[in-house]
């Protein structure tokens, strides 16, 4: 490759087709999980019971409680298996060694004078921190889905109301994450970096 071609490629970040596929499937599955989850929520709001505040039709999926549950429990397979496949991919390709936050990022945040390096550290910390939240959505969801078989898992959350609240809170956390994640991606790599993750 010529020096100018190398320079040109450096300006166009590229992602592997597999990474892009996991990203797309994750976003679509999460949107469907949120919309069907909010449909379930509306049948008996976590906050305030049947008289509690609910969500408008526009953001719901399934039409009614049973429809929402059918969607939720069908898409949970897509969402969970995609996350599992991504985990295997990250492990096998050793991406976890250089794509996720490390102690070097924490050090950079504390001591670096380089703004670019700091933003990069923030970016990696944020997208590393969302992984446990995505897993928490699965763990709390499974505990509600099979409370008899997984009573030990449900017990970790204390009581049913706390379990429901934790599961519900994964929605605003994922939404806030998406916003911060996109803003930091813009900051560290501008629109090209974002585009490279989608096309
Ligand atoms: C992938 C594994 C998941 C499983 C097994 C699962 C299972 C469940 C179950 C059983 C319920 C009904 C709770 C009830 O009857 O009160 C529920 C509700 C809900 N889920 Fe999930 N879920 C999963 C993932 C997710 C994800 C990823 C999100 C979005 C980030 C989500 C959002 C919601 C919401 C908003 C509700 C309504 C909360 C409530 O009213 O209790 N779920 N889920």
pLDDT at residue 10, as a whole number: 53
**Tens-digit pLDDT profile for residues 14-69:** 899 999 999 999 999 999 999 999 999 999 999 888 788 899 999 999 999 999 99
Task: Give the mutation target among 42, 72, 83, 161 for probing the ligand 1 site: most ligand atoms within 8 A of CB.
Answer: 72
Contact 195, 20 (CB under 8 A): no
Rounded to two decimals, the pTM is 0.91
Residue 144 Cα, ligand 1 centroid: separation in angstroms? Answer: 8
Q: Is 184 in the pocket of ligand 1 (CB under 6 A)?
A: no
Q: Is 171 in the pocket of ligand 1 (CB under 6 A)?
A: yes
Residue 28 Cα, ligand 1 centroid: separation in angstroms? Answer: 16
CA distances from 198 to 5, 151, 193 (A): 23, 40, 9
What is the helix (H) or strand (E) element at residue 3, kind and residue range? helix 3-11
pLDDT at residue 137, as a whole number: 98
Q: Is 36 in the pocket of ligand 1 (CB under 6 A)?
A: no
pLDDT at residue 14, as a whole number: 84
Q: Is 186 in the pocket of ligand 1 (CB under 6 A)?
A: no
Half-sphere exposure of 74 (CA within 13 A, CB side): 10
Contact 155, 91 (CB under 8 A): no
pLDDT at residue 53, as a whole number: 87
Domain residue limits, the chain: 15-44+55-78, 100-199
């Amino acid at each position: 490759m010529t020096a100018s071609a190398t320079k040109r490629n450096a300006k166009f970040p590229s992602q592997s087709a597999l990474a892009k596929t996991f990203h797309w499937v994750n976003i679509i599955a999460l949107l469907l999980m949120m919309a069907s989850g909010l449909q379930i929520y509306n049948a008996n709001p976590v906050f305030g019971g049947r008289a509690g505040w609910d969500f408008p039709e526009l953001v719901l999926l399934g039409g009614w409680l049973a429809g929402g549950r059918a969607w939720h429990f069908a898409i949970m397979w897509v969402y969970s298996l995609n996350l599992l496949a991504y985990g295997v991919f990250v492990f096998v390709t050793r991406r976890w060694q250089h794509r996720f936050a490390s102690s070097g990022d924490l050090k950079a945040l504390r001591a670096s004078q380089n703004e670019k390096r700091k933003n990069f550290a923030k970016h990696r910390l944020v997208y590393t921190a969302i992984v446990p939240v995505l897993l928490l959505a699965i763990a709390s969801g499974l505990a509600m889905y099979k409370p008899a078989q997984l009573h030990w898992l449900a017990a970790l959350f204390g009581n049913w109301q706390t379990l429901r609240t934790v599961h519900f809170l994964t929605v605003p956390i994922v939404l806030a994450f998406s916003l911060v994640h996109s803003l930091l991606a813009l900051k560290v790599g501008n629109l090209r970096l974002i585009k490279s993750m989608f096309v």
